[in-house]
Structure 1
Amino acid sequence: MGEVMILAGTGLARRVCAAVADCDVLASLAGVTEVPCDLEVPTRIGGFGGEAGFRAALEGVSAVLDVTHPFAARVTERTVRICREMGVPYLRLQQPPWPNDPTWHVHATTAAAADAIPTGARVFLSTGPGSLVPFLQRGLHLWCRRIDHAPTRDGVTWIVARPPFTEDGERALFALLGVTHLVSKNAGGARAKLDAARDLGLAVHMIARPKDPGGEESHDIDRAIAFVRHHSADRDRR
């Protein structure tokens, strides 16, 4: 047993970290937000400096629990491959995807979603600022939700807010803005925005999850917690 690395950055990761705060773990955040949430465990912030840096960081690590966003495909693919090559036990914990609704417009990419939305539409992007570019300069009214404040950008209005979001709150926001189209990634978990969009009759454009990156995956948080405890040392015994 030893130190378990938890690749974090999601609400699900915060729940895991809180449950294993008595264990020898190190959480890792990419550092994409200015003020990350307190994970209640020792935390490193920032990238690893490429593949060589990540391999060096895994030296002496007893296991890796990957609780990154389901759309962080490149990070997960690299982690799966390197853990396999180094013989480090690996488990990925994700929310199960939302079942497809027959009323949704499902797309493989954000660019495909942008192509499908008519000029003049009032679009709420819940996919984050990294997905914004394909929607610009298309004659759309755009609102994009993000966690941190950002400089003004032509063609988009930022909505700065942190989850969790309630169905009532989402419904009121969409109605106030006069939203006609909601764009979301199929990340699973809380579906307040989807239920609000259904109630208001909005067109929902859903980005499908990337292909399976390999490695063992679970949707069971209790199994993930047990995985960490099995591979880690009790912090008080160090």
Structure 2
Amino acid sequence: MQTQTKTKILILGGTTEGYALADALATRADLRVINSLAGRTDHPRLPAGETRIGGFGGAAGLADYLREQGIRAVIDATHPFAAGMGWNAAEGCRAAAVPLLRLERPAWSAVPGDRWESVADWAGAVAALTGGGSRRVLLAVGRQELAPFAGLDAIWFLIRAVTPPDPMPPFPASELLLARGPFDLEGERALLDDHAIDTIVCKNSGGEATAAKLTAARERGIRVIIRERPERPALLTAATVAEAVAWLSPASGLLP
């Protein structure tokens, strides 16, 4: 009996959506699912299917990998702020003539009652903090992007991160809170109240896992300085895992 050759799919993952997509595809008998993780988190949770950790060496390196491994389709499910990988994926897939889909959760949008100030970069966030009278700030920007805020000696920061920053920037007044989402509304309310937070600084990451802080801030009239997403290539995009799975369905005609 001849063994069926499985079609190789590459997921550029590390996000909630990437893990969910791997779960949905790894059980399919016609697919061989390979996940790529950036390797920025120690001891990451491994997704369903096979996993490789580390970069490709830019767009050219990714194109070489796709050709060498015989990858038939790529789904970019990286974080909305992983712009470098997004551009490399577009260029690498184009060079290797491999179909590419972007799986991206919708961005958050302000609703009545929100006190949002949108900024394009962290320099803009620093300017908004210093010009807006903030004194006690929840800083939820990721452990690798803290340095721009370390020189603000008139502000106390509650720094929330999944793993400890290494090295930790020299904040004059701060507390480090290690925590991994999802975060519920009751917990976020208590966090803001217990620490007398008057401002939140965060990225417009979208998704449900970390959205509760925005609801709690709205309820309390707390200011939110939110960095908008960087520009990424114009690609065919899926907003949900179900849409990405449909893109790879036998009926789509994409795969043999």
Q: Deviations over 1:182-222 (max 9, x none)?
A: 01211111111101111222110111111242221121321
- 1:148 corresponding residue in structure 2: 163
2:93 is equivalent to residue 83 of structure 1: yes
Q: Distance in 1 between matches of 2:146 and 2:122?
A: 8
Q: Paired residue for 1:109, among 118, 121, 129? A: 121
Q: Which structure exhibits the higher relative contact order, with contacts defined as CA atoms closer than 8 Å and separated by 6 or more residues?
A: 1
The one of 61, 79, 87 aligned to 1:53: 61
1:128 and 2:133 aligned: no
Superposed, 1:113-192 pairs within 5 Å as 113-118=125-130, 121-139=135-153, 140-150=155-165, 153-155=169-171, 156-190=174-208, 191-192=211-212
Runs of 5+ consecutive residues of structure 1 not aligned to the other structure: 234-238
Q: What's 1:236 paired with?
A: none
Contact 1:18 1:40 in 2 (8 A): yes
Going from structure 1 to structure 2, the CA distance change for 1:207 and 1:120 (only over 3 Å counts) comes to closer
Check conservation: 2:134, 2:199, Cα contact below 8 A: no
Closer, same or farther: CA 116–150 of 1 in aligned 2, 3 Å = closer
Q: Could you tell me how far apart the structure 2 residues matched to 1:150 and 1:132 are?
A: 8
- Partners in 2 of 1:162 and 1:146 — Cα distance? 7
Q: CA RMSD in A?
A: 2.0
Structure 2 counterpart of 1:35, which letter? H
Shift of 1:232: 6.6
Name the CA distance, whole Å, in 2 between partners of 1:50 and 1:93.
20
Question: Which of these residues, 203, 206, 209, is aligned with residue 226 of structure 2?
Answer: 206
Match of 2:215, SS state, is helix
CA drift at 1:10? 0.7
Structure 1 match to 2:3: none
- Cα drift, residue 120 of structure 1: 5.7
Q: How does 1:225-236 map to 2 (within 5 A)?
A: 225-230=245-250
Structure 2: 5+ residue stretches without partners = 1-5
What is the distance in 1 between the residues matched to 2:213 and 2:157?
Answer: 16
| 1:144 aligned counterpart, secondary structure | strand
1:151-194 CA deviation, whole Å, 9 max, x = no partner?
55421432211111111111111222221110121111111110
Distance 1:116 1:103 in 2: 13
Structure 1 or 2, whichever has the larger Rg, is 2
**Matched position secondary structure for 1:104:** strand
Say if 2:102 is the partner of 1:92.
Answer: yes
Q: Residues 102 and 237 of structure 2 are in contact (CA less than 8 Å); yes or no, is this contact kept in structure 1?
A: yes
Q: Work out the CA distance in 2 between the residues paired with 1:70 and 1:109.
A: 14
Q: Distance in 2 between matches of 1:144 and 1:169?
A: 16
- How far 1:228 sits from its partner (Å)? 3.7
What is the identity, as a one-letter code, of the residue corresponding to 2:158?
W
- Alignment partner, residue 19 of structure 1: 24
Tell me the TM-score normalised to structure 1 length: 0.90
SS of match in other structure, 2:115: coil
